[in-house]
Amino acid sequence: MLQIAVINESTAISDDAVNNMIAAFGSQWNDDLDPVWGVGEAEFTFVPKGTQPAAGTWWVVFLDDSDQANALAYHDLTNEGLPISKVFVKTILADKGSVSVGATHEICEMAVDPWLNSAYQDPQGVFWAGEVCDPVEDDQYGYEINGVLVTDFVTPNWFGHQFAGDVIDFKMHAETPFEVLTGGYAQKWDPQKGWQQVTGQQAARSKRAYAQPGSRRERRAREWKNWQSSEHKFADEGGGTAPPRKMKTADEGGGTAPPRKMKTADEGGGTAPPKQ
């Protein structure tokens, strides 16, 4: 089973508050997301600040903002070159958003597209980034798991494959494939301009609609060749770390199961059908 370490480096949220979210992280991943997207099961473990996470784990790191992420040497991948999600707590709070929604947004998207290299082709031949929470981004679309508000996410039907069903997103807010709700956004590929963002009217007024340095959208646009493994020094390592592993290419395995290849919409996204 995939192991995911949850680390709190933020000065704006307590360890207890983060710990209280962890059960909801696991429930959403294993009970809701996995049956829809076939991501496999995962277990989340809180790792106290300064403690070295277990080898081979993916990371979810709570940080104040992108500046703190850089200062603490949390970059585009873990120290081992594995997937990482960064939750910018102060940025979310400044936008009057829910930290638990922001965290589960990052976690769900890491689950479905850990290497930020999936895209799906619409009937007009345009490729859309495989970000499953962006189109339904906003607290108003979320739902509670044991009192913790978590993000909504789209199903493979949002990407408009040939046999798409009626359930476009998990909580059934969207009505048609490729619909971007007013609080959401999405990215599509322009051969001349690169990744371009489609932004809902409400989201256009939100700071979260703009890609922060180190965010998934910014990393996708920056491309793998410019990514850097984290070099964070944990206290229990005696103030030093082993040199970070070189990021491996997809055909080298990347230290995990190989990333999914880019699929066209009429391939159905290569996943199990969503819940009805």
What's the pLDDT score for residue 253? 43
Give the chain's domain count: 1
Rounded CA separation 264/214 (Å): 27
Rounded CA separation 166/160 (Å): 10
Is residue 237 included in any domain, yes or no? yes
**Residue 193 burial (10 A CB sphere; 0-12, 13-18, 19+):** exposed
Q: How is residue 55 written in tokens? A: 């080898």
Q: What is the pLDDT of residues 96-127, one digit of tens each?
A: 999 999 999 999 999 999 999 999 999 889 99
Q: What is the pLDDT of residues 130-175, one digit of tens each?
A: 999 999 989 999 999 999 999 999 999 999 988 888 899 999 999 9
Is residue 168 included in any domain, yes or no? yes
pLDDT above 90 (res 26):
yes
Q: What is the pLDDT of residues 240-272, one digit of tens each?
A: 444 444 444 444 444 444 344 334 444 444 444
Which residues are bridge partners to 44 per DSSP? 4
Q: How many CA atoms lie within 13 A of 251 on its CB side?
A: 0
Q: Mean pLDDT over all residues of the chain? A: 84
What's the pLDDT score for residue 202? 58
Please say whether the beta carbons of 224 and 117 come within 8 A: yes
Is residue 276 included in any domain, yes or no? no
Please say whether the beta carbons of 133 and 250 come within 8 A: no
Is residue 244 included in any domain, yes or no? yes
Q: What is the pLDDT of residues 196-213, one digit of tens each?
A: 888 876 555 566 666 677
Give the Cβ contact number of residue 24 at 10 Å.
Answer: 20
The band of 2, judged by pLDDT with boundaries at 50, 70 and 90, is very high
Please say whether the beta carbons of 163 and 268 come within 8 A: yes
The residue segments making up the domain with residue 185 are 2-270
The band of 9, judged by pLDDT with boundaries at 50, 70 and 90, is very high
Please say whether the beta carbons of 256 and 4 come within 8 A: no
Q: What is the pLDDT of residues 52-87, one digit of tens each?
A: 999 999 999 999 998 888 888 788 899 999 999 999
Is residue 275 included in any domain, yes or no? no
The band of 238, judged by pLDDT with boundaries at 50, 70 and 90, is low
Q: How is residue 179 written in tokens? A: 């619909």
Q: In three state form, how does the secondary structure of 3-29 look?
A: EEEEEECCCCCCHHHHHCCHHHHHHHH
Is residue 201 included in any domain, yes or no? yes
What's the pLDDT score for residue 206? 61
- Cβ within 8 Å of residue 245, ≥6 positions away: 79, 80, 81, 229, 255
What's the pLDDT score for residue 259? 40
In the numeric block, the tokens 């979810």 are attached to 60
Residue 27 φ/ψ, nearest 5 degrees: -65, -45
What's the pLDDT score for residue 27? 98
Q: In three state form, how does the secondary structure of the chain look?
A: CEEEEEEECCCCCCHHHHHCCHHHHHHHHHHHHHHHHCCCCEEEEEECCCCCCCCCCEEEEEECCHHHHHHCCCCCECCCCCCEEEEEHHHHHHCCCCHHHHHHHHHHHHHHCCCCCCEEECCCCCEEECCCCHHHCCHHHCEEECCEEECCCECHHHHCCCCCCCCCECCCCCCCCCCCCCCCEEEEEECCCEEEEEECCCHHHCHHHCCCCCCHHHHHHHCHHHCCECCCCCHHHCCCCCCCCCCCCHHHCCCCCCCCCCEEHHHHHHCCCCCC
